[in-house]
Amino acid sequence: MSGQGPFSGKAALALVAAMGALLLGLAWLAGAAPAQVPAAGAHAGGRGLDGYAGLATLLEVAGYPVAVGSSAGFGASEGSGLLVLTPPAEADGRAIQRRVMAHLPHGPVLVVLPKWQTAAAQGASGAAPGWVWLTGLALPGWKGFADDVAIGVAPAAPPVIGPEGTGAVLPRADLALAGTGAALAPLVTDGAGRVLAAAYRPGWVPPRAPPLILVFEPDLLNNAGLAHAENAALAEALVRRALAGRQGAARAIGFDLALNGLGRPTNLVALAFTPPFLAATLCLLLAGLGVGWRGFVRLAPPERALAAPANGRRLLVANMAALILRARRWRVLGAPYADGAAARLARALGLARSLPPPAQQAALARLLAARGRPDLDLPATLEALAAPHGEGALLQAAQQLHTIERTLTR
């Protein structure tokens, strides 16, 4: 039987490593596939009148690190940067509250309220993908978030003044959203003092927490509003106010689309690394490492070749010898061996079976003398076998008897 394995050690290790790398690659592709952001809607990918693709582009051109994400955890991992939320009117207020509270300890949050109902402008002459018609108002009903703030619709009185003395032009000044509430610190107001954007400081926001800004009038920041240069300057002023005192990565801006219904569905890979499934995943990884190591050891060549099996007689003798060594009953082994050896010699030399053992031993002694070996004392050897004094004495007597047998039977 050959002891050579089917693969060398290096080949087995390379095979196991390649399979592990392939598995990790498939897991990464399953969990990191980019999500497609539609061009229509009131979010950072929207290119219609109510979208905010223009705002994202404006801030990127202004030198801010901008990212648009569709994961429910987007923004929190970016450290202390600005998180921008543009939830629709039908969004769950409690979900908005959870998202704001999750990021606010890390950095400022800017929430833009919805305003317009829209219809796709597909089929219209010259309409580009994502363009929409404005068909009516859709005011937010976010129960569970900013419940102490009231929203109203009324004509805006000029002029509209924002941070750093910036102004703004409202595309529909006759339908302007404004907010009222004791926890609001106005940032953008109209000529009548109505609050179009404000810093929000309710009781659940810690005193030293980053700013939480509510923009009640979305036309200040959406694509329709950014058609005016004044609104672009006001948008940058609001962002500078939110990021005041922050440098480097802390000036990053993330647009989260999860509240717009564009959150990437949780795949099995992401779920596997989310508590409480993380513990089971770690156990499976450890088990996989064990299985991989076992596979490497199994496929590698054995340390030594297997010994060829002995023939039947030698194997039987070896098994009997092992049994004798294990039992260690030396005192009961020598006498039967001595009797058997004497009888075997008598048969081999043709001695009469009727001779008693003493006579047989005397005849064998004469034969040894005739062969020139009077030094080989058969009776003494048989007596030593019958009553051995330990393992060494038994082995010495057996070797002496073997010499006598060879001398007499040659």
Position 240 scores a pLDDT of 96
**How long is the chain?**
410
Q: Are residues 238 and 339 in the same domain?
A: no
Q: Are residues 253 and 318 in the same domain?
A: no
pLDDT one-digit tens code per residue, 254-272: 999 989 887 655 556 666 7
- Among 263, 294, 329, which residue terminates a domain? 263
Distance of alpha carbon 152 from alpha carbon 179, whole angstroms: 6
pLDDT one-digit tens code per residue, 119-159: 888 766 677 888 888 889 999 989 999 999 999 999 999 99
Query: Quick check: is 285 in a domain?
Result: no
Q: Are residues 84 and 231 in the same domain?
A: yes
- Of 31-45, 60-74, 289-303, 325-339, the one with minimum mean pLDDT is 289-303
Distance of alpha carbon 338 from alpha carbon 322, whole angstroms: 20
Q: Are residues 125 and 243 in the same domain?
A: yes
Q: Is residue 374 predicted with pLDDT exceeding 70? A: yes
Please provide the distance, in angstroms rounded to a whole number, between the alpha carbons at the two ends of the chain: 39
Q: Is residue 174 predicted with pLDDT exceeding 80? A: yes
Closest C-alpha to 350, from 335, 367, 334:
367
Query: Quick check: is 398 in a domain?
Result: yes
Q: Are residues 81 and 199 in the same domain?
A: yes
Query: Quick check: is 277 in a domain?
Result: no
How many CB atoms lie under 10 A from the CB of residue 290?
10
Distance of alpha carbon 89 from alpha carbon 87, whole angstroms: 7
Closest C-alpha to 149, from 197, 100, 220:
197
Distance of alpha carbon 246 from alpha carbon 240, whole angstroms: 9
Which residue type, as a one-letter code, is found at position 153? V
- Among 263, 297, 326, which residue terminates a domain? 263
Q: Are residues 138 and 43 in the same domain?
A: yes
Q: Is residue 59 predicted with pLDDT exceeding 80? A: yes
Q: Are residues 235 and 173 in the same domain?
A: yes
- Among 230, 263, 296, which residue terminates a domain? 263
Query: Quick check: is 307 in a domain?
Result: no
Q: Is residue 215 predicted with pLDDT exceeding 80? A: yes
Q: What is the mean pLDDT of residues 15-22?
A: 76
Pair of tokens at residue 366: 């004469």
**Comparison of pLDDT for 28 and 247, the residue scoring more:** 247
**Comparison of pLDDT for 292 and 116, the residue scoring more:** 116
pLDDT band, very low/low/confident/very high, at 77 (cuts 50, 70, 90): very low
Percent of the chain with pLDDT over 70: 80
Distance of alpha carbon 30 from alpha carbon 34, whole angstroms: 10
Which residue type, as a one-letter code, is found at position 267? N
Distance of alpha carbon 7 from alpha carbon 369, whole angstroms: 65
Q: Are residues 206 and 323 in the same domain?
A: no
Give the mean pLDDT of the chain: 81
Which residue type, as a one-letter code, is found at position 405? E
Q: Are residues 318 and 232 in the same domain?
A: no
Which residue type, as a one-letter code, is found at position 355? L
Q: Is residue 76 predicted with pLDDT exceeding 50? A: no
Query: Quick check: is 120 in a domain?
Result: yes
Query: Quick check: is 283 in a domain?
Result: no
Q: Are residues 370 and 221 in the same domain?
A: no
Pair of tokens at residue 385: 């076998």
pLDDT band, very low/low/confident/very high, at 365 (cuts 50, 70, 90): confident
Number of domains in the chain: 2
Residue 389 gets which letter from DSSP? S
Q: What is the mean pLDDT of residues 322-349?
A: 73
- Of 53-57, 224-228, 264-268, 344-348, the one with minimum mean pLDDT is 264-268
Q: Are residues 124 and 237 in the same domain?
A: yes
Query: Quick check: is 303 in a domain?
Result: no
Distance of alpha carbon 161 from alpha carbon 200, whole angstroms: 18
- Listed in sequence order, the residues at least 6 apart from 236 whose beta carbon sits closer than 8 Å to its beta carbon are 58, 59, 62
Position 264 scores a pLDDT of 56
Query: Quick check: is 124 in a domain?
Result: yes
Domain span including residue 378: 312-409
Q: What is the mean pLDDT of residues 277-302?
A: 74
Which residue type, as a one-letter code, is found at position 59? L
Position 192 scores a pLDDT of 96
Task: Check: CB of residue 46 under 8 Å from CB of residue 223.
Answer: yes
Q: How far is CA 210 from CA 107, 111, 243, 261, 336, in A?
A: 6, 13, 9, 26, 100
Q: Are residues 190 and 43 in the same domain?
A: yes
3-state secondary structure of 120: strand
- Of 137-151, 222-236, 290-304, 328-342, the one with minimum mean pLDDT is 290-304
Strand (E) or helix (H) holding 113: none
